[in-house]
Amino acid sequence: MKIIAGLGNPGPSYETTRHNVGFLAVDRLVDVWHARGPAKQYEGEIYQVEVAGEKVVLIKPQTFMNNSGKCIGSIFHFYKCEPGDLIVIHDDLDLKLHSLRIKTGGGTGGHNGLKSIDAHLGGGKLNYHRVRVGVGRPEIPGQMSPADYVLQQYSDDELAGLDPVLDDIEQAIKCLIAGDVSGAQNKFNKDRDAGGVSSK
């Protein structure tokens, strides 16, 4: 079983905030793959689908970002998964807006959702896959705290620029499901301008 978890906060007021790009990505996967669901289980919104012969569970934790691991860890342990079976999609302040990076293992970069996942999976060196989606930082340093910035809504132009990024995420995850991590990184680790145009 492969698990794909998008990180975000539940509720309409958070729907199109930068912090919810993981939820937006899962929504795209559900739509494109015609996944079955949602079921409400393990404090999450759960969908199921088969991709290239692999059974896949798509998760949108409903526990709020800082407790994302509670939901993800429960499903991970239920299916007796290995770290390599888990793909987490999340926002990243350290990457330019709309850029994409596929990474396996490593630190949390201070991301509270990742910290929670690590804690609920058992800690230690956990080589699960991360799809890091750049949200950038406030234009003027010190103008706004990172916490407030990621909870801001995307502008209409930013949402339009995000659309091709979500398409790339879908293709990159298909590579990861197939076990082609280096292929996903070589093809999809790239920066984009604000309009979503690749600048790799």
Active site residue 19: yes
C-alpha dist (Å) from residue 40 to 58, 147, 168: 12, 28, 28
Return the half-sphere exposure (C-beta side, CA atoms, 13 A cut-off) of residue 174. 13
| DSSP-based three-state secondary structure for 192 | strand
How does DSSP assign 144-184, residue by residue? S-HHHHHTSBPPHHHHHHHHHHHHHHHHHHHHHHTT-HHHH
pLDDT, tens digit, 9 for 90 and up, residues 40-98: 999 999 999 999 899 999 999 999 999 999 999 999 999 999 999 999 999 999 999 99
Q: Where are the domains of the chain?
A: 2-188
The two tokens of residue 106 are 């490593």
Is a pLDDT exceeding 70 seen at residue 200?
A: no
> Pick the catalytic residue: 19, 90, 98, 120?
19
- Where does the pLDDT of residue 109 fall: very low under 50, low under 70, confident under 90, or very high at 90 and above? confident
Residue whose C-alpha is closest to residue 101's, from 58, 136, 130: 130
pLDDT value of position 191: 81
Buried-exposed string 39-57: b where 16+ CB fall within 10 A, e elsewhere: eeebbbbbbebebeeeebb
The two tokens of residue 126 are 């956990």
- CATH for 2-188 is 3.40.50.1470
C-alpha dist (Å) from residue 96 to 136, 173, 194: 5, 20, 9
Strand 86-92 versus strand 100-104 pairing type: unpaired
pLDDT, tens digit, 9 for 90 and up, residues 120-133: 998 666 899 999 99
